[in-house]
Chains A and B, each alone.
Chain A
Amino acid sequence: MGENGRVSGEVLLKIDNISLSFGAVKAITNVSFDILKGEVRAIIGPNGAGKTSMLNVINGVYHPQEGTITFKNNVRSQMKPHDAAAQGISRTFQNVALFRGMTTLDNIMTGRNLKIKSNFLASLLYYGWTQREENRHRDFVEHIIGFLEIEAIRKVPVGRLPYGLQKRVELGRALAAEPELLLLDEPMAGMNLEEKQDMCRFVLDVNDEFGTTIALIEHDMGVVMDISDRVVVLDHGEKIADGTPDEVRANQDVIDAYLGVSHD
């Protein structure tokens, strides 16, 4: 809430008339909104509203039947996920998609994948240049580990970590790719108050220190109201509100969607 000094007004991502269906099921119907560079944009709505599907569309995992996505002034109607990543979009997942047998350090290093220039043969032989490159990446990843305060679990296989820490590691992996747009799918799910406060702090720090634009799906209204600059509300695949947290909070359609309306 409040003035965000980093928002310049330039549009980073624009969603135009996106519709997505799976057979007869309409997941998203004619949704349009934009995300400004440097802002924290929340996407909220009751369960089943199409929020994760929306993120998947932006990310290139789902391909919409209609509509276009404009990212950094490139218009496209669909893209493969690795293209999205190469363009600077990173994301976390609702159910934590880390490599369970690998350590925290290795998981975050995988986030550097697109930045690693050595080819397979060079990595196998590990001669001078490759080793130096790995050190550079390791240095960057260590800064992320320091930033997220997870030094103590550097070498622990992530499968053994408590849920809250796994989410933090996943955030680290997404950050390792140095994204311009970071998509967070329910980053606070399953956390107690203290963990949520920590996660909020990290999200805000990322936005503040690195200037990363953030799109965030979240259910905790307190979090949404506190840290987002603007909010878009989806319900049953349609957009029902779009504006600042205060505007959205007062919107009758939003209230009805969450609390229900009696049909007499």
Chain B
Amino acid sequence: MTNLLELNGISKTFRGVLALEDVDLVVGENEIVGLLGDNGAGKSTLIKIVTGFHAPDSGTITWKGRRLSHLDVQHARELGIETVYQERALADQQSLWRNVFMGRERTGRFGLLDVKAMRSETETLMREFLRFTSKSVTPESPVATMSGGERQGVAIARALHFEAELIILDEPTMGLSVTETKKTLDFVRQIKTAGKSCIFIDHNIFNVHQVVDRVVLIDRGRVAGEFNPRDMTIVELVEHLQHVAETGSFDEAGAGAR
């Protein structure tokens, strides 16, 4: 089976500073990949290459077995790569349905908005994906009235509704309470259920450990190691991360890796 996305030998330099060096990253079909790494390790740069925001200095990008000669933001969106940024995902004062259809509003006759269709599709999404239990939430509710976890859910539901193949979640649990974090992680699991793939970036290794199929560790612009979270307990993982932080390498940490 071909992988959904393959990055090979990606390097990127900003004004003489090496941000990424010979990075390989694979995302399989229907796979949740966790990206772990310290601030400045190169996670964001890597993500911006995947979303077409930065072009790599060298290396290749392959999507569904086809090598892409060039990837820009528009092209990435057309392929089905969608990013969910926590703070920047939604327009707070606007209704749920306006947020779901942001930039992709449905129009009917005379180019007028088909509000009815958008409301009812939003209602379906609320019932089937978001599973909002509170009766006070309707497609007309402004998203400002929703909790942090619910808002992440809205952004993820929006991506899935428009058939994103690969959803990139950039620190989706930052600043959320324990309950809201749990809600967000449940939505991440639903990406898996929906048969789509995800790159999940988080500082919190406990969150990553819970939902991902594979963890890729980035350190100082390089891939420091990969492992299956099911092969390793949280305690072991923390030890490895400390080792990586000290030595920049995962493999020599020994016990249990790969």
Report whether chain A binds chain B.
Answer: no
Listed in ascending order, the chain B residues whose CB lies under 8 Å from chain A are none
